[in-house]
Amino acid sequence: MKPGTIYPSALQQKVLSQETPGGVSVALSIVIPSVIRPSKPFEVRIAVLDDNGYPSLECNSGVEVALPEQAAIHITFRQGIPAVGCLKGIQLSNEGVFRLSASSDRLQAHSNPTLCTSENVPGIYWGDPHVHTILSNCHADKCRSLNFCFTAARHLTALDWVAAADHVSNGRCDFSKWKEQRTVANLYDDPPGFVTLPAYEASLKGGSGGDNNVYMSRFPDMFIDEYEDGTIKTLCSKLAGKLQPDEFFAVPHHTTRTGKHGEISDEIYPGPDAMPVIEIHSKWGTSEYRGNPNPLKKIHDGPSYATNLLDRGMKLGFIAGTDSHATMPSGDGDEPNHIDRLPGLTAVRCNELTRQSVFEAIRHRQCYAASLERIVMHGSIAGHAFGEELQFADLTTPPRIDVLVAAKSDIARIELVRNGKTIRTVTPHSWNTRLTYEDKEDLSKLKIKSHHLNSFIYYYVRVTCESGAQAWSSPVWIHD
């Protein structure tokens, strides 16, 4: 395939420019896939952005992309048209971890890193599972249309998949809005180029599960809302009347929010199949552990952090999203003032990009969470991929942690967390590194006894970049 330039269609450009008439160019965005194969073509996605992250309409120049051992390639933008485009048919021949760099007359940027490998490893597909549109009837002055949500996710922020998770509770949805949400999401689902994941936000009261999103492999005829007197468990059991048990799951988010907290008692816990992951970060803040550096503004007093739930034996992988109320998938946007932390995004590991494969990857915790940057985390603990579990009886040697980490900016810290406590920290101060470590502690003394997972320990890896970007691998559990 020869390299070529592709721009969004006239209609897609109109959707972007009508809903976000971007101003002066202040930043350059260059996005590449996180996993590529030697000598196989891939796409380089370029955008010139204004100070809210919207595509500039003022750009009237070219952008040059430097490639290893090849001539640079160019894309040009014209004033009055959103500065968004794609270079197709690009290839790298050598294996390794690479970043590309882009420059225009005034701006420079690195791409996210890519792992170029011929090994049989799954792809990493990035998405934002939590975007609100005008259908949410929440901050309607800021929110934009479903058309904008899907067009921006695909063409502006260059995501592989997105979920418009609009509110239904408090009378915010009815059958007519649901039909619109279903129809437009299905219209924009276009594998293997781009996937829309069926979703909606089902709020519950504090103590009943708090704010949850429901993700589905297909849309049912109507949503289930349990806001007034249900719990996360009754929500899931009623969904099981509409869909098969393997066709939906619920995900609690900003679990440390005052009032709407996600303390989940044993009585209302719907189990690991119906609740396989937790949204650990969004623009509201991080709910990883008490004392984390990016907390929500008003924090619930009780044990509602992700680590509190993990410590009770709940098998929860990690995802992150924006919870954007400016309909800005994985980007900055002109959000309402209280939603001002770094944008979250979710990496899923699977072999192909389809609605079913994205859904199944999250359902099986083959996913990880990140903020701001598409951080590559590729590794295992005790020979098991992140998100998996094994038994102590299967452990013949001390658990070995081996993870390759690469980011757009320099990595300040990689931390290995065991049972909620950091047990190993490395400070590479480079953008591409590897952590290996053997945990020789007497694990029998560290086992947590639980109602849900016998006696167990868990590990995960937290990455923090100098830009403030973070990533959290899903845990690996070892249990009796």
- Contact (CB, 8 A) for 232 and 252: yes
3-state class (DSSP) for residue 452: coil
In terms of Cα–Cα distance, which of 162, 257, 132 is closest to 204?
257
In terms of Cα–Cα distance, which of 472, 366, 465, 355 is closest to 112?
465
Residue 25's alpha-carbon distances to 106, 108, 149, 289, 406, in angstroms, are: 9, 12, 22, 38, 28
Which residue stretch of 67-75, 147-155, 298-306, 315-323 sits at the interface with Zn ion (rule: CB under 5 A)?
Answer: 315-323
Please report how close the Cβ of residue 348 comes to Zn ion at its closest, in angstroms. 20
Please report how close the Cβ of residue 375 comes to Zn ion at its closest, in angstroms. 23
Which residue stretch of 121-129, 181-189, 298-306, 316-324 sits at the interface with Zn ion (rule: CB under 5 A)?
Answer: 316-324
**CA dist., res. 421 & res. 412, Å (int):** 18
- CB of 323 or CB of 439, closer to Zn ion: 323
Please report how close the Cβ of residue 103 comes to Zn ion at its closest, in angstroms. 37
Is residue 323 part of the contact set for Zn ion (CB under 5 A)? yes
Of residues 172-231, which lie at the interface with Zn ion (CB under 5 A)? Answer: 201
Is residue 166 part of the contact set for Zn ion (CB under 5 A)? no
Of residues 55-74, which lie at the interface with Zn ion (CB under 5 A)? Answer: none
- Contact (CB, 8 A) for 34 and 112: yes
- CB of 31 or CB of 342, closer to Zn ion: 342
Please report how close the Cβ of residue 200 comes to Zn ion at its closest, in angstroms. 10
Of residues 31-50, which lie at the interface with Zn ion (CB under 5 A)? Answer: none
CB atoms within 10 A of CB 122: 16
- CB of 67 or CB of 138, closer to Zn ion: 138
**CA dist., res. 76 & res. 63, Å (int):** 6
Is residue 128 part of the contact set for Zn ion (CB under 5 A)? no
Which residue stretch of 34-42, 132-140, 284-292, 327-335 sits at the interface with Zn ion (rule: CB under 5 A)?
Answer: 132-140
- CB of 323 or CB of 415, closer to Zn ion: 323
Q: Does the bond joining 8 to the residue before it have cis omega, within 30 degrees of 0?
A: no
- CB of 138 or CB of 240, closer to Zn ion: 138
φ, ψ of residue 26 in degrees (nearest 5)? -125, -10
- Contact (CB, 8 A) for 355 and 163: no
- CB of 139 or CB of 218, closer to Zn ion: 139
**CA dist., res. 304 & res. 146, Å (int):** 32
Number of residues forming the site for Zn ion (CB under 5 A)? 3
Is residue 138 part of the contact set for Zn ion (CB under 5 A)? yes
- Retrieve residue 141's tokens: 């002055």
Please report how close the Cβ of residue 448 comes to Zn ion at its closest, in angstroms. 31
Which residue stretch of 36-44, 134-142, 307-315, 382-390 sits at the interface with Zn ion (rule: CB under 5 A)?
Answer: 134-142
Please report how close the Cβ of residue 258 comes to Zn ion at its closest, in angstroms. 16
Report which secondary-structure segment, H or E, holds 107.
Answer: none
- CB of 213 or CB of 217, closer to Zn ion: 213
- CB of 102 or CB of 214, closer to Zn ion: 214
| Side-chain-facing half-sphere of 172: CA atoms under 13 Å | 22
- CB of 111 or CB of 136, closer to Zn ion: 136
**CA dist., res. 460 & res. 295, Å (int):** 19
Residue least distant from Zn ion (Cβ): 138
Please report how close the Cβ of residue 326 comes to Zn ion at its closest, in angstroms. 11
- Contact (CB, 8 A) for 442 and 384: no
Position of tokens 């810290």? 413
Please report how close the Cβ of residue 142 comes to Zn ion at its closest, in angstroms. 10
Interaction site with Zn ion (CB under 5 A): 138, 201, 323
